[in-house]
Amino acid sequence: MKNTLVALVVSAFAFSVAACPEKNHARGAHVHIPERRWAPSNLSLPARPLVWGDVNIIHTTDSHGWLLGHQKTSFPEPNYSGDFGDFASFVAHMKELALKKNVDLLLVDSGDLHDGTGLSDGYPPGGVDAHDSNKFFEQLPYDVLAIGNHELYVYANTLDMHQNFAPKFPGRYLSSNANITIAGPDGQNVSVPVGSRFAKFKTRKGRQVTSLGVLFNFTANDENTTVQAVGDMVKEDWFADAIKDEPDFFLLVGHMPVQEDNWPTVFNAVRAVHPTTPILILGGHTHIRDCVQFDGRSIALESGRYMETVGANLDFKKGCTDNITFNRRYLDPNRVTYEYHTRRNAYTFNTSMGSRISTGMKALAKQFDLSAMFGTAPQDYTLSRDPFPSNGSLLSLLAEQVLPVALAVNNTRASVPSLVITNSGVLRFDVYVGPFDKNDQLTASPFDDSFLYITNVTLDVANQVLPALNNAGANKKREVLEGREEELYRRGAVDMRYRRWLEGMHLRASEERRAATNLTLGYVTKDSCPGVGDDTLHTPLPYYSVPDYIGSQPPAVSNDTRIDLVFVNFIQDDVLETVNSLQSDKVYNSSDVQTYSPFLLDEVFGLFAQEKWN
């Protein structure tokens, strides 16, 4: 019975596991590239080297277009300042180390390449989201990739993934339960997987792997795409055929969090056929660092978001029943981290591919005019590190200043009193002091939601909508809030779970850790797996709770004045349901909803900055 040892290195977190080791060494070639780039000087070194196994996996997830690296100087941004060219060089050097150690190294992604920065979303009219930025992904030697929910919101994006992206990874871009409807050879519509349902392959060292690419039970996919419930997927004949033969290990990749979702459904279906075969699960979607074991012969990892998190190692023996012991690591993706773990320096780190990717991304950013200036932000505005409401809260800035200014531009309804409501999830990232450009605008809010309104709502009723949505009304019950949160989650919203994770990190923080002068702000992870997972030690981010919904200041008119109630289209159903529950004069439905502004959500910060930050 052959021995197999697996090491996982995941997009900003790494872990290792040991049980039945087998060590071999071989030499690999070294390529010297004279060009170099420098890391920020105030970054901390990782706490310790990575642990290698016989199979090593580098995993990325929820990158959302963050390929240019985090470029701001306010912490924790420098922790994540490596760009995708740096990551490509890191992968190449790790491949070289794997050759020297005579071990396997796999590269895996768990989805959500769309919606996040100007590099993915800043395309000119007529373009397709992430079509150009995905070309940088295509240059890396990914072994397995899985579809994310952000690949399914817009049919054109899904079609692009099916026709252009998936073929770059033949049989390895997996969409086990996600289909697209296209015209078949006979001209009739046919529903087919966006990628492939599963993959079976051998590693460089000859180990047999069976992989799936599973999406959570997502419900907000566009027309002509379908997502099958996970519980139904595992009952399909193709699923039974895919898992029938025993591999050396199952590599289950998917856009689904490793806790509080349906990975146990998939895991149990595999375990029913293969009671002891090692199962490695690489999840995503909730943007957190997390780790859990479903039994002693498995490990499930989730590696953050936005290229803020990479890593892992496993020892196991096929067919044996010993529990797997492991170490896992969450890496901060920056030059200091990359150079430390690949034993390189600024003169020897860059590879030719890495340099080409960095140069290509800069050229694309120039083509998209991402450095076009709107103004200069006077200070940092954060989503949860400052109280809401406060002068430092980005949510306060949006509700109280940005929306009133931006939505008055070229608006024939501007003279009519209005109240604007949006879900807090429309904001995806902080705004930092200094130049505020097109890329920053799309980073803060990449969604192209439209602003809608219903008219002739009395101010008295309109003022009750926001508290009702946030469950402040006396007649609202906890199950109503939980039901709404679950519905938002099925539609793809993750900010509720991400915020709970940040809050837990904040509450666990010790006074000693916060007072440490040698630690920079960053993630301080506590997951369900033993040992310390973070690669670099940090002091935890402060956290203040924020509501699910926010609104502008009510207009200074009497309570019986009829106003425009304005909202983003993502929450249309919630708003109509709430308004109808608060009054009986009229039953509002979608026919009463009209477009309020010619501008979309991803344009409002630029409009505001041009007016107020110049």
Tens of pLDDT along 559-572?
999 999 999 999 99
- Asked if residue 33 has pLDDT above 80, the reply is no
Quickly count: other Cβ atoms within 10 Å of residue 280's Cβ.
27
Contact 312, 107 (CB under 8 A): no
pLDDT level of residue 19 (50, 70, 90 thresholds): very low
Q: Which residues contact 212 (CB under 8 A, 6 or more apart)?
A: 174, 176, 197, 198, 242, 250, 252, 253, 254, 266
Least confident of 155-159, 308-312, 365-369: 308-312
Q: Where are the domains of the chain?
A: 3-367, 373-470+547-612
Express each pLDDT in 135-152 by its tens digit: 999 999 999 999 999 999
Predicted confidence at residue 509, as pLDDT, reads 85
Predicted confidence at residue 313, as pLDDT, reads 64
Q: Largest Cα–Cα distance of the chain, in whole Å?
A: 81
Predicted confidence at residue 485, as pLDDT, reads 82
Q: Considering the chain, what percentage of its residues have pLDDT values greater than 70?
A: 90
Nearest to 426 by CA among 450, 404, 408: 450
Q: pTM of the full predicted structure? A: 0.90
Q: In whole angstroms, what is the distance from residue 29 CA to residue 8 CA?
A: 23
Q: In whole angstroms, what is the distance from residue 163 CA to residue 157 CA?
A: 10
pLDDT level of residue 265 (50, 70, 90 thresholds): very high
Predicted confidence at residue 451, as pLDDT, reads 98
Q: In whole angstroms, what is the distance from residue 393 CA to residue 485 CA?
A: 23
Predicted confidence at residue 11, as pLDDT, reads 31
Strands 434-437 and 373-377, bridge-based pairing = antiparallel
Reading the block at residue 179, the tokens are 């289909």
- Asked if residue 63 has pLDDT above 60, the reply is yes
Express each pLDDT in 158-169 by its tens digit: 999 999 999 999
Q: In whole angstroms, what is the distance from residue 1 CA to residue 298 CA?
A: 19
Tokens 């773990």 correspond to 341
SS3 15: strand
Predicted confidence at residue 36, as pLDDT, reads 58
Predicted confidence at residue 71, as pLDDT, reads 94
pLDDT level of residue 8 (50, 70, 90 thresholds): very low
Reading the block at residue 33, the tokens are 């590239």
Average pLDDT over residues 469-483: 63
Predicted confidence at residue 4, as pLDDT, reads 39
Q: In whole angstroms, what is the distance from residue 255 CA to residue 140 CA?
A: 20
* Bridge partners of residue 17, in order along the sequence: 326
Predicted confidence at residue 142, as pLDDT, reads 98
Average pLDDT over residues 298-316: 83
- 599 compared with 315, residue with greater pLDDT: 599
Contact 15, 329 (CB under 8 A): yes
Q: In whole angstroms, what is the distance from residue 464 CA to residue 485 CA?
A: 20
Predicted confidence at residue 580, as pLDDT, reads 97
Predicted confidence at residue 54, as pLDDT, reads 82
- 480 compared with 2, residue with greater pLDDT: 480
Sign of the Cα torsion 75, 445, 254, 481 reads: positive
Nearest to 441 by CA among 188, 139, 116: 116
Residue 420 burial class via C-beta count within 10 angstroms: exposed 0-12, middle 13-18, buried 19 and up: buried
Quickly count: other Cβ atoms within 10 Å of residue 77's Cβ.
20
Predicted confidence at residue 175, as pLDDT, reads 98
Torsion angles phi and psi, residue 574, rounded to 5: -65, -45
Q: In whole angstroms, what is the distance from residue 495 CA to residue 423 CA?
A: 10
Per-residue H/E/C for 378-401: CCCEECCCCCCCCCCEHHHHHHHH
- Asked if residue 310 has pLDDT above 50, the reply is yes
Query: Which amino acid, residue 544?
Result: Y
Predicted confidence at residue 113, as pLDDT, reads 98
Q: Which residues contact 528 (CB under 8 A, 6 or more apart)?
A: 259, 290, 291, 292, 293
Angle at alpha carbon of residue 8, lines to 130 and 323, rounded to 5°: 140
Query: Which amino acid, residue 188?
Result: Q
Contact 161, 151 (CB under 8 A): yes
Sheet containing 549-551: give its strands across: 549-551, 418-423, 562-568, 450-458, 594-600
- Asked if residue 154 has pLDDT above 90, the reply is yes
Tokens 């959302």 correspond to 64
- Asked if residue 17 has pLDDT above 70, the reply is no
Ordered alpha helix ranges (H), 544-603: 572-582
Mean pLDDT of the chain: 90
Per-residue H/E/C for 191-220: EEECCECEEEEECCCCCEEEEEEEECCCCC
Express each pLDDT in 211-232 by its tens digit: 999 999 999 999 999 999 999 9
Average pLDDT over residues 567-585: 95
* Bridge partners of residue 300, in order along the sequence: 281, 292
Average pLDDT over residues 457-480: 79
Q: In whole angstroms, what is the distance from residue 283 CA to residue 385 CA?
A: 26
Pick the CATH number of 373-470+547-612 from 3.90.780.10, 3.40.190.10, 3.40.1390.10, 3.30.750.24: 3.90.780.10
Predicted confidence at residue 20, as pLDDT, reads 41
- Rg, C-alpha atoms of the chain: 25
Ordered alpha helix ranges (H), 272-390: 335-342, 352-367
Average pLDDT over residues 247-271: 97
Predicted confidence at residue 22, as pLDDT, reads 37
Q: Which residues contact 498 (CB under 8 A, 6 or more apart)?
A: 286, 287, 288, 305
Cis peptide before 167 (omega within 30 of 0): no
Q: Which residues of 423-432 are buried (b: 16+ CB within 10 A; e: fewer)?
A: bbbbbbbbbb
Q: What is the CATH number of domain 3-367?
A: 3.60.21.10
Average pLDDT over residues 351-368: 97
Predicted confidence at residue 18, as pLDDT, reads 36
Q: What is the DSSP string of 58-99?
A: EEE---TT--S----SSTTGGGG---HHHHHHHHHHHHHHHH
Q: In whole angstroms, what is the distance from residue 386 CA to residue 277 CA?
A: 47
pLDDT level of residue 187 (50, 70, 90 thresholds): confident
Angle at alpha carbon of residue 337, lines to 172 and 116, rounded to 5°: 55
Reading the block at residue 609, the tokens are 């900055």
Predicted confidence at residue 5, as pLDDT, reads 41
Torsion angles phi and psi, residue 231, rounded to 5: -65, -30
Q: H/E element holding 250? A: strand 249-255
Output the CA–CA distances (angstroms, integers) from residue 255 to 209, 246, 281, 412, in the order listed.
Answer: 19, 24, 11, 43
- 25 compared with 291, residue with greater pLDDT: 291
* In 386-537, beta strands by DSSP E: 418-423, 434-437, 450-458, 521-522
- Asked if residue 481 has pLDDT above 70, the reply is no
* In 117-241, beta strands by DSSP E: 144-146, 173-174, 178-183, 189-193, 198-202, 208-215, 225-227
pLDDT level of residue 13 (50, 70, 90 thresholds): very low
